[in-house]
Amino acid sequence: TRSLLRSPKGFPELKNDTFLRAARGEETEHTPVWCMRQAGRYLPEFRETRASQDFFATCRSPKLCCELTLQPLRRFPLDAAIIFSDILVVPQALGMEVVMVPGKGPTFTEPLKEVEDLLKLRQKVDVTAELGYVFQAITLTRHSLEGKVPLIGFSGAPWTLMSYMIEGGGSTTMSKAKSWLYRHPEASHRLLRLLADVIIDYLVGQVAAGAQALQLFESHAGHLGPELFQDFALPYIRDIAQAVKSKLKEEALPLVPMIIFAKDAHYALRDLAHAGYEVVGLDWTIWPQEARAQIGKHVTLQGNLDPCALYAPKEKIGELVKKMLESFGTQRYIANLGHGLYPDMNPEHVGAFVEAVHAHSRHINKH
């Protein structure tokens, strides 16, 4: 059955490949744009679709994931879609229970407390059995997009997932998870290795299902300093890019562009530039020129407007976008926010952001 799963699925021809061209460093007429968390609660239709459903039940419904992924594209001329899912489906695949608590967010019923708790995790994960619902959602969405724009698949990175698994949810300090790095370095590496292996299979499976690009979210990089990042995050980030690419080759699957987004890791930009990813995503805390200087011209940059800029009046959003495009340059660049959209944002302001990127980048390219 494995070869059947890997066969081409007769997908519609891609009409707008601007995002993929920019990711690969090819010339584009306009700068492509998409938003992290573009399928989100700021859209009334999203709230309506999600209203009666448990969050993770939604994640497990290919039909609902497809609908939520397509919603922003009906409103805005975005250049890419990103599959609606959650990074915590990977800890679930390892056998951990995660529930979405209203007002609190994702919560692990039994977080990892002691090194012995690692034994409770599944040591070998069949990603098709555990996460096949994500693959089905990707295949369905890829057909339903009708070639309009490319579809991005994603995963959380090992350190970010480990921090959730130990903290049991969000945390301002990550002190429980970080204490493992200092007290139990070997066990930490065992856990990170286990996560990396699952993530590699998961990302390859997403490409087999139809994902045309992949983003790795190291959302909690900012809690690590340069040293801990070098020891506990970077080796796995590198390894994931390398292993995914070699498995894609082995399985004769498309070599899709990969994006690394390590939030607040401006201390590691040089390393990330050489980690094997075609695109480095940036948060809003770094000057575009500074990022370009550190990363060089051989990697595409993605980002980095402060999400809160979307609370500004529309004209102001246009000015900020123009400044951002002038700072990054319109080529080898994908416009995005420096983090995800917030639930109370006005959809019209998201539209203003997307249109400003297209209008200003076309203007700059002409002149």
pLDDT band, very low/low/confident/very high, at 8 (cuts 50, 70, 90): low
Q: Which of 17, 21, 79, 164 is catalytic?
A: 164
**What is the DSSP pairing of strand 105-108 with strand 98-101?**
antiparallel
pLDDT of residue 316: 98
3-state secondary structure of 352: helix
Q: Which of 37, 60, 292, 332 is catalytic?
A: 37
Per domain, the residue ranges of the chain are 33-366
Q: Is 41 in the active site?
A: yes
What distances in angstroms separate CA 155 from CA 134, 167, 169, 191, one per listed residue? 11, 19, 17, 16
Q: Is 37 in the active site?
A: yes
Give the residue-averaged pLDDT of 155-168.
98
pLDDT digits (tens, 9 = 90+) for 290-302: 999 999 999 999 9
pLDDT band, very low/low/confident/very high, at 1 (cuts 50, 70, 90): very low
pLDDT band, very low/low/confident/very high, at 52 (cuts 50, 70, 90): confident
Residue 6 has pLDDT above 90, yes or no: no
* Helix or strand (DSSP H, E) at 21: helix 18-23
Q: Which of 86, 117, 231, 306 is catalytic?
A: 86
pTM, 2 dp: 0.97
pLDDT digits (tens, 9 = 90+) for 334-352: 999 999 999 999 999 999 9
Q: Which residue has the higher pLDDT, 2 or 132?
A: 132
Residue 126 has pLDDT above 70, yes or no: yes
Give the residue-averaged pLDDT of 301-306.
98
pLDDT of residue 7: 45
Q: Is 75 in the active site?
A: no
Tell me what the pLDDT averaged over the chain comes to.
96
Q: Which of 24, 41, 190, 193 is catalytic?
A: 41
Residue 45 has pLDDT above 90, yes or no: yes
Q: Quickly name the fold that domain 33-366 has.
A: TIM Barrel (3.20.20)
Q: Which of 50, 142, 238, 332 is catalytic?
A: 50
Q: Do residues 320 and 305 make contact, with C-beta atoms less than 8 angstroms apart?
A: yes
Q: Is 42 in the active site?
A: no
Give the residue-averaged pLDDT of 278-283.
98
pLDDT of residue 102: 87
pLDDT of residue 297: 93
Residue 251 has pLDDT above 80, yes or no: yes
pLDDT digits (tens, 9 = 90+) for 131-154: 999 999 999 999 999 999 999 999
Q: Computed from CA positions of residues 27, 300, 364, 310, in that sequence, does the dihedral angle turn out positive or negative? A: positive
Radius of gyration of the chain (CA): 20
Torsion angle of the four alpha carbons 215, 220, 221, 222, in this order, in degrees rounded to the nearest 10 = 130
Q: Is 54 in the active site?
A: no
Residue 5 has pLDDT above 90, yes or no: no
